[in-house]
Structure 1
Amino acid sequence: MARKIRQAAVIGSGIMGGGIAALLAGAGVKVLLLDIVPFDLKDEEKNDPAARNRIVKAGLDAALASSPSLFFNKKDAGLIAIGNLEDDIDKLADCDWIVEVVVERLDIKRNLFEKVAKIRKPGSIVSTNTSGIPLQDITEGFSDEFKQHFMGTHFFNPVRYMHLLELIPGKETLPEVLDFISKFGEKNLGKGIVWAKDTPNFVGNRIGIQGISAAMRFMQEDGLTVPEVDAIFGPAMGRPKTAIFKTTDLVGLDIMMHVAQNSYDLCKDDEQRDIMQLPDFVEKMAKKNLLGNKTKAGFYKTDLTPEWKKIRKVLNLKTLEYEDLERPSFPCLDAAKKAGTLTEKINCVLKADDKAGKFAWKLAANSFQYAANRIPEIADTVVEIDNAMKWGYNFEMGPFEQWDAYGVADAVERMAKDGLEIPANVKAMLDAGNTCFYKLENGVRYFYDFASAGYKPVPVPESLVSIAAAKGNNKTAMENASASLVDIGDGVFCLEFHTKMNAINEQIVDFIAESLDYVDKNGVGMVIGNEAGGMPGAFSAGADLGFISKLCHDKKYAEIDAFLKKAQDGIQASRYAPFPVVAAPYGMTLGGGCETCLGADRIVAHSELYMGLVEIGVGLLPAGGGTMNLWKKHVNALPGKTVKDVDLAKIFVAAFMKIGMAAVSMSAAQAVGNGFLGQADRIVFNRDTLVGEAKKEVLRMVDDGYAPPMKQPLKVFGDAGQGMVNAELYNMRNGNFMSDHDAFLAKRIAYVMSGGDVNVGSEVSEDTILKLERDAFVDFCKEEKTVARIDHMLKTGKPLRN
């Protein structure tokens, strides 16, 4: 019988338990969320179900109120039932998977699992989210059947956003249980799976906490400050902007201290055990309750002036007093900003001779040593360690990938000169003539396996399609500086943007038309997708504003119109091409990026989708067919006959407000509610498989005998829609909810979406609305306030409300 997870239980309703429950509910699983009965119940409350469920209710409420949201859609909470471990524990008998997320104490966990073992149905999977207690200690004395279905499933916080899921087999865990949870976690929950061994802190936190501890230790030795270290180990080194100390503030200093202490207490043979003893300032910070974001003060804090201006402060570790934050600058970081690739940036820093470069090398060399010495102790391969750091800490490169970027032999030579011990496994690899941890051959990525002393293919999900691998296998059909068309197999080609933030420029607009012609002659269908690093990333942040700004300042309005016409023609050509076109958006999918998706036959979206038509924020409107195609998406969601009789007012205001208020979905589920995704579109939880799933959709449509849609007139709301919107704009303007320029823009947007000077219920051609889009866009470009908005966005990255 095939396993299924229809009902799951999460025991423990703290931030981690609430996050796991929210994720499971988002995947369509019914969840039973349990916690203890409060110890402080009054006599009159002891029989009151609400009072007895007070702790678990507070946990679920906290998950619902979390920001950023732990839920893809707040409606998912309807799949979560709450209860307590006295009155509702028998309900565990109905659960296919039981996840424990209680306090890190062996006695408490064993006591809980003794109760669970008596109630659970045979064959149900039980897992612990522990980060430090050995699994064999938890299950000692339990039945063989329980041990066979018991394992570790270590999620990372916040559960929705962190890609990593560490799976830890017990000694007796059945292989089919491990295989099932791995596939369920990868496909249904969208996680990147790392196989860890039953060692303290597993993989991600074992490596991560050593890196943070070493940074603190070396910072004191070399006399650097908190902002200096964060500047060095930020984006220039392929790390998130939160770097080291902002990350600690985010996670919580108390959590970091617990993990470090765990490593120190339990890893007695670790050659860098002493580094896990944190500097004195950490203990002093904890005593002063400077724990980070949770206490609104950690290594950093934000003060407000009487004028409500935010001032960033940073902790002076010598005085433990806060000082104004001054952004540090180093020559190597300035050079890294100008470098094109991450490898070049890393080398700018690590090979520099300034203060930052020397510190970066010292910490990087230490991390190289530590990571290599953890194989096979905590994991069997370099892949597990690199993936744990990329998926659990948002690094763009893991330690072995970064070592490759520097040059393994060069780094080893420098480490030897510095008197550092070279890990034996790395020395043996080099002695055998193998000079890298990873290599690409015929489009397949290989890693060096220390155990077999040879290279093996990097394991990937079954449905993964790698654009990079296809390129490495000489499958690029066409390309220019901004886009590529890549053969991803079976007659399907992928149109990939690769500008900064994948912004759409004139090169991309021209390339779309050329790609459609190529696929028509040589393929069966096309995917529009790309593989940006990091989360959430950007499918496309919209049109190239710098290009638009220059045309505005030069008053080249005819050129603007011509650019828009080409963009519209390309997007409409993809909609009416004789083959299926499927868009695969993820992360930021704004403005022109959103319009590109709305013009495709179907959308296969990642669950983390921040989609919207936000042009009004820069004084413009969607003019790549977005205004028309969003309205069309709303109308087409109605059954055919209903369109003739429906009150268009019910859908017009909803569609208009998505543009007029620059609404952006905070998930793909919200994009459905906003009308950007329709019934035929799909949501994929694992971004690694997004392009592969989009390719499957293309082939499915081909197999179904795809025929392009017919061009038909579009029923519009006409002057009645404009009247409704104008009345609402008048009220909003009088209430100071929008500026005069906002109202001016919104009024014209309503005019375009409603079809122009026509009566309610009129049918107009698509070309008519597209022309209205272009005319409005060009007119907006002539407005000084619009140009000011564009320039402000380019300069600050923030909208200007003028």
Structure 2
Amino acid sequence: MSRKIRKAAVIGSGIMGGGIAALLAAAGADVYLYDIVPFDLKDEEKNDPAARNRIVEAGMKGALSAKPALFYTKKDAARIQTCNLTDDFDKLGECDWICEVVVENLKIKQDLFERIDKVMKPGAIISSNTSGIPLAKISEGRSAEFKKNFLGTHFFNPVRYMHLLELIPGAETSQEVLDFIAHYGEVSLGKGIVWAKDTPNFIGNRIGIQGIGVVMQKVAQDGITIAEADALFGPAMGRPRSAIFGTADLVGMDTMVHVADNSYNLCPEDEMRETVAVPQYVKDMVASGKLGDKTKQGFYKKGKTPEGKRFKQQIDPATGEYIDIAKPEFDCLVAAKGKETLAEKIATVVWGEDKGAKFVWSCTASQLTYCANRIPEIADSLVEIDNAMKWGYGWEVGPFEAWDAIGVKKSVERMKAEGLPVSAKVEEMLAKGNETFYKMDSGKLFYYDFASASYKEVPANEAAISLAAVKADNKVVKTCPSASLIDIGDGVFCIEFHTKMNALNKEIIEFMGTSMDYVDANGVGAVIGNQAGGMPGAFSAGADLSFVSKLAHDKAYSEIESFLAMAHEGLQRATYSKFPVVAAPYGMALGGGCETCLSADKIVAHADLYMGLVEIGVGLLPAGGGCLNLYKKMIDSLPGGTAKEVDLTKFFINTFMAIAMAKVSMSADGAVANGHMHPWKDRIVMNRDLLIGEAKKEVLSMVSSGYKAPQQKKLRVVGVEGQGMVSAEISNMLNGGFLSEHDAFLAKRIAFVISGGNVRIGTEVAEETILKLERDAFVDFCKEEKTVARIDHMLKTGKPLRN
């Protein structure tokens, strides 16, 4: 494509506009961020540029300080220039893409676009992030050139983390513009693209608000508490822990009510319109200022007692008062917890016999019928609806995927028996003998298309590799309960972990060794990656602490040392294998997960990467080669042949600080800054869906370039002199109360390991020397009562213990 987005403008500097600007800057565009000149300028301020840009500067400041962070790295902020719509309007004529994110007021938008129509350069893309106003009305009276390049680009908040980007074509938008923005959105911005129609609230919010509306109505009718409803519609149903009411508090009650009112007022022909009507108790809450997290009271009230103890209460819909929360207890949730797959969990909850299960069924049945009836009104296929809910609302499965798990035929029979509305489309599908919305065939995923009454292949980017689809095509060549080796084509194999949080255990370490043998004999290279979990997910949250805890409690120290030796051998094989190995981390890559990546030839990481060696938090140190390989990674950033000429103490200190302070990146850019990723050898991919495919490309590129396995070389270390450099600082931090005695003990031993032990500065040591120091230190730490207490506390609470 000849188009490029080199310069973009975002008009509206609120949290949404700031998020879009930050994302565009991360993609490499120079961005103008606009807002209005304040109406309340004093006479002496009217010629003051700072005063005239006060609103947009506040918006920019808000974007920079937002939590969770909107910027992958604060350095991207240098690409953004703040402007106002009076003094700087003509700069819009420089832009390749102008994205409007102003208040939901038709006249304001129309007036703005009338002005833009006069200054936009030929071919510039113009988009609106509206969700409640038809695009056709917004673009009324605009030029043919404007309409050809105009569309809806509906991002979701927070922009960095929400995968969904709804694209809404205008009646006259050119196909070339649509193709380009879809490709740019998917590849450069990392978004999941869903094609929506120009209907109120588009797809995500139209479906989402109906599901929320039904639950809000039925809690009052069925005597279910707010906390009980959230427990029922949480992870057991494949939803975020915030579920229904927690999500409403997070988004803001006023925003939620606005979206609901849009659906109700702008969709008078909707056959299930009453399901989105806002209940009176919710209206009363908004009127009294109970708007959710931003006011610290909404469906939930959070705060501290006069004694400083934190509390959380829930609203009682019947009285409008806050009441205490009792732990929700339902047989269906207990039964679901024992199931292995999400599909089994969903079916267990929906088909349960208790009060909670019946509540879930009635709400779910309503939404399933609603979703089917919205095709083709809001989208042409059920895939668009499923993806919108997964990518925009954080669901693990979309409504039609959930319906398959529940059982389409069985559920429709129940709907009929109970007199509930049933979609005619679904009845027709069943009548033709089709009982699922999705099916796999020859490794490809197909969906049922209501329009043609046939199955069609689910569209996907050709660069994307779905491990689930590949596995369904019988491409698993080796497997065990904890991991699998998958043939992803062209001689490349993927080593996939599938434990809880992809934690590394003994079985995975052993499996990696046999997998390397298989790839060496049958392939050209390997990718280490997986696709489990929603956003951000976990490439690997680290070693299996329960395994380490058991060995430590049993005082099985020789077994610990043997396990570490096996891990070192396996990871060193990845480093020095005769074929390229590429790690594809995303989300959490902590402890052993980070070490796995450090052992690979190359890292191809998703932009949202939380990587770090965090072992000190549980009283340990990286002993899967982390101390060695992080130090090597630091040195490898030097031009070839210069390591002997430079002062290595700063590389030692950077490595020590990263480990001793358990530095964790907040993005892949942060991983580069922390030294966990190489600044020019490793790669960052914006779209996680493309990660495995891009990692495979890197393997094949190295093969085609004549891959040569690296040779082991001795490392120059800083020895006891380096230890002395950090020892004084450790003592100062200990005396200042920044470290505990145990922290100081651990930190000094970590410095001993990284520096090469009892040698002089400049000594060259074999890699095995540092690996042996790692193993010895790890075993010694496991003998410490305070380390065992830290491990047990983490396992019990999920939080670090400082002792």
Confirm or deny a common fold (TM above 0.5): yes
How far is the alpha carbon of 1:647 from its aligned partner? 2.1
In structure 2, distance between residues paired with 1:299 and 1:601 = 50
Q: Secondary structure at the match of 1:726?
A: helix
- Where in structure 2 are the equivalents of 1:331-410 lying within 5 Å? 331-410=331-410
Aligned residue in 2 for 1:80: 80
In structure 2, distance between residues paired with 1:738 and 1:322 = 41
- Where in structure 2 are the equivalents of 1:306-321 lying within 5 Å? 306-321=306-321
- C-alpha offsets along residues 405-424 of structure 1, whole Å, 9 cap, x if unaligned? 01110011111111112211
Q: Does residue 554 in structure 1 map to residue 554 in structure 2?
A: yes
Q: Secondary structure at the match of 2:642?
A: helix
Aligned residue in 1 for 2:782: 781
CA contact (8 A) 2:366 2:421 kept: no
- Where in structure 2 are the equivalents of 1:122-201 lying within 5 Å? 122-201=122-201
CA contact (8 A) 2:605 2:684 kept: yes
Q: Does residue 726 in structure 1 map to residue 719 in structure 2?
A: no
Aligned residue in 1 for 2:301: 301
- Where in structure 2 are the equivalents of 1:106-117 lying within 5 Å? 106-117=106-117
In structure 2, distance between residues paired with 1:304 and 1:641 = 59
In structure 1, distance between residues paired with 2:326 and 2:64 = 36
**Which ranges of structure 2 fall in alignment gaps of 5 or more residues?**
none
Aligned residue in 2 for 1:629: 629
CA contact (8 A) 1:19 1:158 kept: yes
How far is the alpha carbon of 1:307 from its aligned partner? 4.7
Greater CA deviation, 653-662 or 237-246? Answer: 653-662
Q: Does residue 121 in structure 1 map to residue 97 in structure 2?
A: no
In structure 1, distance between residues paired with 2:298 and 2:668 = 34
Greater CA deviation, 684-693 or 647-656? Answer: 647-656
Q: Secondary structure at the match of 1:640?
A: coil
How far is the alpha carbon of 1:306 from its aligned partner? 4.3
In structure 1, distance between residues paired with 2:315 and 2:509 = 49
Q: Secondary structure at the match of 1:131?
A: coil
Aligned residue in 1 for 2:612: 612
CA contact (8 A) 2:253 2:291 kept: yes
How far is the alpha carbon of 1:638 from its aligned partner? 1.1
In structure 1, distance between residues paired with 2:314 and 2:779 = 46
In structure 2, distance between residues paired with 1:611 and 1:469 = 28
Aligned residue in 2 for 1:711: 712
CA contact (8 A) 2:13 2:35 kept: yes
Letter in 2 for 1:693: E
In structure 1, distance between residues paired with 2:763 and 2:178 = 59
- C-alpha offsets along residues 12-64 of structure 1, whole Å, 9 cap, x if unaligned? 00010000000111111110001100000111111111100000000000000
In structure 2, distance between residues paired with 1:710 and 1:503 = 30
Letter in 2 for 1:794: L
**Which ranges of structure 1 fall in alignment gaps of 5 or more residues?**
none
Q: Does residue 441 in structure 1 map to residue 446 in structure 2?
A: no
CA contact (8 A) 1:583 1:597 kept: yes
Letter in 2 for 1:22: A
Aligned residue in 2 for 1:753: 754
How far is the alpha carbon of 1:347 from its aligned partner? 1.2
Letter in 2 for 1:286: V
- C-alpha offsets along residues 535-592 of structure 1, whole Å, 9 cap, x if unaligned? 1000000000011111011110000001011111111100100000000000010000
In structure 1, distance between residues paired with 2:116 and 2:340 = 55
CA contact (8 A) 1:394 1:535 kept: yes
How far is the alpha carbon of 1:640 from its aligned partner? 2.8
How far is the alpha carbon of 1:282 from its aligned partner? 1.0
CA contact (8 A) 1:589 1:609 kept: yes
- Where in structure 2 are the equivalents of 1:425-436 lying within 5 Å? 425-436=425-436
- Where in structure 2 are the equivalents of 1:243-642 lying within 5 Å? 243-642=243-642
- C-alpha offsets along residues 737-787 of structure 1, whole Å, 9 cap, x if unaligned? 111111111110010011100111211110000000000000000000100
Aligned residue in 2 for 1:33: 33
CA contact (8 A) 2:296 2:303 kept: no
Letter in 1 for 2:422: I
In structure 2, distance between residues paired with 1:654 and 1:300 = 44
In structure 2, distance between residues paired with 1:776 and 1:346 = 46
Aligned residue in 2 for 1:241: 241
CA contact (8 A) 1:493 1:519 kept: yes
Aligned residue in 1 for 2:799: 798
How far is the alpha carbon of 1:304 from its aligned partner? 1.6
How far is the alpha carbon of 1:221 from its aligned partner? 1.2
Structure 1 residues 509 and 333, CA gap change in structure 2 (3 angstroms): same
- C-alpha offsets along residues 296-352 of structure 1, whole Å, 9 cap, x if unaligned? 211113222345332222222233332332221111101111110001111110000
CA contact (8 A) 2:220 2:317 kept: no
In structure 2, distance between residues paired with 1:336 and 1:134 = 42
How far is the alpha carbon of 1:73 from its aligned partner? 0.2
Aligned residue in 2 for 1:12: 12
In structure 2, distance between residues paired with 1:169 and 1:355 = 44
In structure 2, distance between residues paired with 1:301 and 1:699 = 54
Q: Secondary structure at the match of 1:610?
A: strand
Aligned residue in 2 for 1:55: 55
In structure 2, distance between residues paired with 1:411 and 1:194 = 28
Identity %: 65
In structure 1, distance between residues paired with 2:98 and 2:462 = 26
In structure 1, distance between residues paired with 2:267 and 2:297 = 31
In structure 1, distance between residues paired with 2:161 and 2:301 = 24
In structure 2, distance between residues paired with 1:746 and 1:462 = 48
Deviation >4 Å, runs of 4+: none
In structure 2, distance between residues paired with 1:556 and 1:650 = 37
Q: Secondary structure at the match of 1:353?
A: coil
Aligned residue in 1 for 2:661: 661
CA contact (8 A) 2:372 2:426 kept: yes
Greater CA deviation, 423-432 or 307-316? Answer: 307-316
In structure 1, distance between residues paired with 2:735 and 2:594 = 32
- Where in structure 2 are the equivalents of 1:202-213 lying within 5 Å? 202-213=202-213
TM-score (norm 2): 0.99
Q: Does residue 700 in structure 1 map to residue 701 in structure 2?
A: yes
Letter in 2 for 1:287: A
TM-score (norm 1): 0.99
In structure 2, distance between residues paired with 1:704 and 1:728 = 46
How far is the alpha carbon of 1:713 from its aligned partner? 0.4
Q: Secondary structure at the match of 2:301?
A: strand
Q: Secondary structure at the match of 1:645?
A: coil
In structure 2, distance between residues paired with 1:96 and 1:381 = 31
CA contact (8 A) 2:501 2:541 kept: yes
How far is the alpha carbon of 1:374 from its aligned partner? 0.2
Q: Secondary structure at the match of 1:448?
A: strand
CA contact (8 A) 1:10 1:21 kept: yes
Letter in 2 for 1:762: T
Letter in 2 for 1:739: S
- C-alpha offsets along residues 163-205 of structure 1, whole Å, 9 cap, x if unaligned? 0000000000000100000000000000000000000000000
In structure 2, distance between residues paired with 1:324 and 1:610 = 35
CA contact (8 A) 2:220 2:318 kept: no
CA contact (8 A) 1:719 1:758 kept: yes
Aligned residue in 2 for 1:771: 772
Q: Secondary structure at the match of 1:644?
A: coil
How far is the alpha carbon of 1:453 from its aligned partner? 0.6
- C-alpha offsets along residues 601-658 of structure 1, whole Å, 9 cap, x if unaligned? 0000000100000000000000000011001100111123432222222222221111
CA contact (8 A) 1:303 1:313 kept: no
In structure 2, distance between residues paired with 1:318 and 1:433 = 46
In structure 1, distance between residues paired with 2:572 and 2:325 = 50
In structure 2, distance between residues paired with 1:186 and 1:517 = 36
